[in-house]
Structure 1
Amino acid sequence: MKFRKHTSAGLLAFLSLVKFGSCTGFQDAFHDASGVAFRSNALIYLSGACGSKVTARAIDLNGDGIADGIDLNGDGIAEVRYILIIEGQLVGLDSNGDGQSDYYMNVGLNDVLKIYMQASGGQEVLLTTDAAGQVNGFDITGDCVANNTIIADIRADTTLPTSSADSPGGAFNGSQTVTLTCSDNVVCNGIAYTIDGSDPSFSGNGNVIVGVSGSIIISEAVTLRWLARDANGNLEASIQSRSFDILGVNVALTPTFSPVLGYYNTPQNIALSSATPGATICYTTSATTPSCTSAGSCAFGATYSAAISVTTAAIIQAIACKAGLSDSPSVSSAYAIDATPPGNAISFAATPGPTQVSLSWANPSDTDLQGIKLVRKTGSYPASHTDGTVVSTALVTSFVDTGLTNGTQYYYTAFAFDAASNFAAGVQVTATPN
């Protein structure tokens, strides 16, 4: 299997470095063994506001032995990325994650490195710190106050990043280039990914795309799994994945199903398709395997011509056929239609406290129960699971709703729901924090 390790677009702008000798300000932070890149984990001393000095560390994000940015607060995560090097003079710094140099760091000074507004030097930029000594921004006017508070914004960020892929996965005749992209309300740090089906991590398992996005070449059957991280270390809520099957140029492409397999609370019409022009799709709904003739027609199973209606439950198995091509792999997709909601939560109770309400209940006995959706309102009870503020959807038996206003009466409805998104009628309680 072949794939391409991502290289940040900004890092492609690297120019060659010269050796700087024994400069104590960065302890050779900008050299590796070859003398042409950054050495990871080296200490860097930077100019701080009001004559102070800030100690930072060069961080290697993707494990290639070359530092990709600077950790300013000692958490092991680079808040600021390196973008480009101008031979023996400056390093471009990206502080907001847009892939562009916002400031430039002089790499040719002893003891303390300096940051400037322009690649040519000029206005010096100083790092500001808070009362605890942590870096919180950049002072560009020399008044010891942060004009750019991006580092404080990064440290205060509790919003989880999200990510996307520009391919839905599936079967293809040739290699695919897949671009993964991270989105965050402040700054993305990178995307960890694997192509062997294992869970990606930023601590050694898999590869890491540095920054907002990067591309991977898929040339054989793999499961691509990935997870985004922002500059404050917040991880994406769950690992994302896509499956790819590279069949070769003389193979019909595997059928796809729409909608995808799963539980539904209304009857579904399942559409089948193959990306191979002129292919015939053969299918069964009887747990048997369809097959093709050498002429590209159906030897066993029905010929697909219109969406397949599923009103209770079905396992649809399909294969794509075309004369002159090898048959696609046979694939299946299972559907279950469930229109029956679960029972209500039992013994729903509320206990008020200072700026909070403690809620408790017992779960119904439905085997397909997925969770209890707690919805809150003021003025009246939530009439449906979309009427009000959702405070929890977990499969638990208690929840503490915090951050409330003392003296305000809050109304809660608990809606049990199942795998098919059927919701119970709901049970209600009210409480006033005190």
Structure 2
Amino acid sequence: MGLVQQDPDAQICSFTVSQEVAFGLENLQIPSKDIKLKIKRVLAMLGISHLAEREVTNLSGGEKQRLALASILAMEPKVLVLDEPTAHLDPEGIMSMVAHLETLKNQYGYTVIVIEHRIEPFYKLADRMVVLEEGRLASDESPSTVFPLYRKKLDKTLRKSLKLRMDLAVDNPREPLLEVEGVVVRRAGIPVLQNVSFRLKPGEIMAVMGANGCGKTSLLLALLGHHQLEKGRVSYRGRDISHLDIQERVKEIGMILQNPGHQILERSVWQETLLAAEMLKPTRKFTVEAKNLLEEFSLLNYRNSSPFLLSMGEKKRLCAVSALVYEPDLLLLDEPLAGQDAGHLDLLMQHLYRHCEGGGSVLMVCHHPEVVASYCHRLLFLEGGQVGYEDRPDKVFQWLKERGKDAYLPLREGDRWEKK
């Protein structure tokens, strides 16, 4: 049996990509010449051959997720258990992974168990869909029975949000809150952002999409001041902040990291909720706001528990609550929807709308085309560290369609998951 965990960082333990795939094979005492062949085959299967000698610390979240899957597949277990394997994968990566799982299941007799909130990609693959509610079995039915009920609930939420988005901001006449001009960033000598420019105005939610490793996370970290700019300028409310360090920027810029475990510090959920607020705005009291948000996001019962005992989805919500409590004008969110069910997804987006109604802005990395189409005012698509296209979501999706990138289109543009 092979297990791919929800958090790939929790199971990766080697220095380079090839070493990580080899680790399990070496423990199984596979001959060296066979190990090399298996590494080459499985990396090619998952589209990461070019990363073979890359240091693991320089991988994106999606690349780490593919690596974790590769290291398990290389050992050829007959039972695969995948815990939210789509959480950090781009849409093309999801389709590729599902195609490989289908081959393993149908041609080689593998048993595949997938734990997921996004069931569309697995509709064709699955023979059964099991639904759990509060730790109990709610249903165990065929996909043709479960999937329509799931889509009906999700579509209702998306339609409501699409109307709200159109009402909020169509033509925004306000001056930019954030302006990025010709930004260039290198990491370990590798160019990760090249001449990136865009504007984000008050009241807007802008999504950032693109393939794993295209520079989405690097962009957010550069705006926060974590990555140094080689060239270019970042302006906030008309003031150049390129020279400011993180300590200065976080007073008005909040961020949720891709891996919440990298930013959670305190011993209890309650302490973590108030940490940023009390450090950055010590003269204010945030007790009421913190309690209300924890209750809304289904975390209040854990207020005295260690945040490190929460699930990945709960940790993501905790980081969101911590940022929302102290109300920075600009929110940088790196895949905040990973690990969220439809209800909590909608709840977070409604809070982001309220944030924008108050004059704030949101820049959000997101791999959900349906969410982008329904909730976001603008879409920035990155390709190889460069801006491919930036405009209203409908215009960017049309551009993607013309380029044959159907995996990035919302389901209503053509249901790519339906059984034939």
Question: Could you say which TM-score interval applies, normalised by the shorter chain?
Answer: under 0.3
Taking structure 1 as the reference length, the TM-score comes to: 0.23
Q: Highest CA radius of gyration, 1 or 2?
A: 1
More strand by share: 1
Q: What's the TM-score once normalised by structure 2's chain length?
A: 0.23
Q: Which has the higher helix share?
A: 2
